[in-house]
Amino acid sequence: MKNPFRSEGDAFRFLWLVIGYGALIVIGSWINTWLGLAVFVVLTALAVWWGVLRGRGEGPVKHAPVPGPADEHRILVVANETVGGPELLTEVRGRAHGRRAIVFVVAPALNTPLKTWTSDEDAARATAQERLDASLVSMRSVGLDAAGEIGDGDPVQAMEDAIRTFRPDEVILSTHPPGRSHWLERGVVERARERFEVPLTHVVVDLDADRH
Amino acid sequence: MSAAAEAHEHHGPPPIHYSSRVSPSVLGMFLFIASEIMLFGAFFTVYFFDRVVNHGVNGHWPPPQFHRPVFLAFINTLILVTSSGTIHWATTSIKRGNRAGMKAGLVLTFLMGLTFLLTQVAEYHRLGFNTGDTSFAATFIGLTGLHAAHVFVGLTILLIMTIRAFRGHFSPEHHHGIEIGGIYWHFVDVMWIVVFVTVYLL
């Protein structure tokens, strides 16, 4: 649901909606008390329905191209435990090959819902930071221009934050294989493709197979 | 230098981090609105309880001995709604770099808010009843008085905004103080519309 007081302009428009809402209820009640009550119920239900629907129906997040050198290619990488996987590194190297690429890695701070709601994120962020540091070291060791940050625990939210600030040309999302990936179970890849207009590549990293 | 390297070389307190799902300013505004809804909601609950339980059955509302100054309140409503227009004018003016428009909008808004508050005080003097008379009198003055307290806070904010504007603060890039004050003033107006419709018209 969108906050009607998000900005001064939104609040001003909301004021006029409230004036219209009140005027219709008053007119209805002056004609007949029960009519006024009916108008109140219908308008309130409509307002709730519209507010909730509007929040869910937000369009895809668009991003403006970053003015810069034509050969600059911006790659956003979003990954959890798989951030150091060789498949991911191979994919990123392949994407960056033959052009000036800038890689930005986002490691979501994975946490339990209870700890998220109680803002107990320190341990999750520390773990994510360790994964991110190791990943950046391996990427830089093969010559990639890489930077990164810790993201929101929700991978789609973390992706949205990074898209807004980094403005990538493409996104690479790394997960565990099907059957072991919580993100795949939660439909993160589909949600991200639906929500963002940036080309998205899904890379599966099988850490168990890599160890053997 | 990478973000990680910068973090490792950082001295002093650790940088603030928070979930980006809800930004602090939006969360603060949500909490503020929620607390205001609860505050006004408590007063409205008492008002409607009193109306339904004590007076609604015999069809007389308000009780026959009380008279609500509807016309005066209507004029006050027009003043307050107009003041929302002028604060909106002030905000849009500074966004376009029109400092004169911003100053004029702020001064007009402050004057209209002050007029509203003084009219409200004059109305109380002419009402002919006070909080100790009946439950209707208590809830009527409680609700309108609660709103008047919000107007007083809004006027204080407006005064600070106006002084800052005349001292050369705010620009098309930096006008957060105007934006936040404008949001609060519109919120006060929204609450007045609800109070006016509920207490004076219905």
- ipTM score: 0.82
Q: Say if A31 falls within a structural domain.
A: yes
Q: Say if A66 falls within a structural domain.
A: no
CA-to-CA separations, A179 to A78, A182, A184, A192, A210, in angstroms, rounded: 19, 8, 8, 19, 17
The answer to whether the CB atoms of B189 and A15 lie below 8 A apart is yes
Q: Identify the pLDDT of residue B2.
A: 46
| Site of tokens 């179970």 | A185
B interface test, pick of A15, A31, A166 with most B CB neighbours within 10 Å:
A15
Residue A18: band (very low, low, confident or very high) from pLDDT cuts 50, 70, 90: very high
The answer to whether the CB atoms of B91 and A18 lie below 8 A apart is no
Structural domains of chain A, count: 2
**A78 & A161 share domain:** yes
Closest residue on chain A to B16 (Cα): A122
**A41 & A76 share domain:** no
**A119 & A24 share domain:** no
What DSSP state is assigned to residue B199?
Answer: I
What CA–CA distance (Å, rounded) separates B78 from A194?
Answer: 46
B interface test, pick of A2, A3, A7, A8 with most B CB neighbours within 10 Å:
A8
| Site of tokens 């100790």 | B132
Q: Say if A65 falls within a structural domain.
A: no
What CA–CA distance (Å, rounded) separates B27 from B40?
Answer: 20
Q: Say if A180 falls within a structural domain.
A: yes
A interface test, pick of B78, B186, B195, B200 with most A CB neighbours within 10 Å:
B186
Query: pLDDT per residue over B108-157, tens digit each?
Result: 999 999 999 999 999 998 888 888 888 888 999 999 999 999 999 999 99
Q: Are B181 and B157 in contact (CB under 8 A)?
A: yes
- Nearest CB among A5, A136, A157 relative to B33 is that of A5
Query: pLDDT per residue over B67-118, tens digit each?
Result: 888 899 999 999 999 999 999 999 999 999 999 999 999 999 999 999 999 9
What CA–CA distance (Å, rounded) separates A145 from A132?
Answer: 14
Q: Say if A114 falls within a structural domain.
A: yes
Closest residue on chain B to A10 (Cα): B183
Q: List phi, psi (to 5°) of B119.
A: -65, -40
Residue B3: band (very low, low, confident or very high) from pLDDT cuts 50, 70, 90: very low
**A126 & A44 share domain:** no
Q: Say if A63 falls within a structural domain.
A: no
Q: Are A75 and A102 in contact (CB under 8 A)?
A: yes
DSSP state string for chain A = ---TTSSHHHHHHHHHHHHHHHHHHHHHHHH-HHHHHHHHHHHHHHHHHHHHHHHHTPPPBP-PPPPS-TTEEEEEEEESGGGG-HHHHHHHHHHHTTSEEEEEEEEE----HHHHHTT--HHHHHHHHHHHHHHHHHHHHTT-EEEEEEE-SSHHHHHHHHHHHH--SEEEEEEPPTTT-HHHHTTHHHHHHHHB-S-EEEEE--HHHHH-
Query: pLDDT per residue over A29-59, tens digit each?
Result: 889 888 988 999 999 999 888 877 665 554 4
**A26 & A121 share domain:** no
The answer to whether residue A153 neighbours chain B at the CB level (below 8 Å) is yes
Distance in Å, alpha carbon of B29 to nearest chain A alpha carbon: 8
Q: What is the pTM of this model?
A: 0.63
Q: Identify the pLDDT of residue B146.
A: 94
Query: pLDDT per residue over A112-166, tens digit each?
Result: 888 777 767 788 888 999 989 988 988 898 888 899 999 888 888 889 888 878 8
Q: Identify the pLDDT of residue B29.
A: 67
Q: Say if A48 falls within a structural domain.
A: yes
The answer to whether the CB atoms of A8 and B183 lie below 8 A apart is yes
What DSSP state is assigned to residue B22?
Answer: S
Given a cut of 90, is residue A205 above it in pLDDT?
Answer: no
**A89 & A191 share domain:** yes
- Nearest CB among B2, B20, B91 relative to A157 is that of B20
**A96 & A121 share domain:** yes
CATH number of the domain bearing residue A155? 3.40.50.620
The answer to whether residue A5 neighbours chain B at the CB level (below 8 Å) is yes
Task: Please state the rounded mean pLDDT for residues A158-182.
Answer: 87
Residue of A168, A205, A196 whose CA lies nearest to A84: A205
Q: Which domain holds residue A34?
A: 8-56
Please report the domains of chain B, with CATH numbers, ordered by start residue. 20-201 (1.20.120.80)
Q: Identify the pLDDT of residue B8.
A: 47
**A16 & A48 share domain:** yes
Residue A207: band (very low, low, confident or very high) from pLDDT cuts 50, 70, 90: confident
Alpha helices in B51-127 (DSSP H): 70-95, 99-127
The answer to whether the CB atoms of B179 and A152 lie below 8 A apart is no
Mean pLDDT of chain B: 84
**A80 & A129 share domain:** yes
Strand partners, A72: A100
Closest residue on chain B to A148 (Cα): B3
What CA–CA distance (Å, rounded) separates B78 from B116?
Answer: 10
